[in-house]
Amino acid sequence: MKKLTIKTHSQNEFIDITHDVRSYISQAGVSSGLCTVFVPHTTAGVTVNENADPNVRKDILKYLSSLIPRKADFSHSEGNSDSHIKSSVIGCEKTFIIEEGQILLGTWQGIYFCEFDGPRTRTLFIKVTGA
Q: Which residues bind Zn ion (CB under 5 A)?
A: 78, 80
Decide: helix, strand or coil at residue 56: helix
- Least CB distance from residue 119 to Zn ion, whole Å? 16
Q: Of 86, 94, 95, which Cα lies nearest the Cα of 114?
A: 86
- Least CB distance from residue 34 to Zn ion, whole Å? 31
One-letter identity of residue 122: R
Q: Kindly tell me which of 17 and 44 has the beta carbon lying closer to Zn ion.
A: 44
Q: Which residues contact 92 (CB under 8 A, 6 or more apart)?
A: 38, 39, 40, 41, 44, 45, 46
Q: Kindly tell me which of 20 and 117 has the beta carbon lying closer to Zn ion.
A: 117
**Which H or E element spans position 50?**
strand 44-50
- Least CB distance from residue 44 to Zn ion, whole Å? 12
- Least CB distance from residue 38 to Zn ion, whole Å? 20
DSSP tag of 107? T
- The Cα–Cα gap between 88 and 69 comes to 15
Q: Kindly tell me which of 51 and 81 has the beta carbon lying closer to Zn ion.
A: 81
Q: Kindly tell me which of 59 and 78 has the beta carbon lying closer to Zn ion.
A: 78
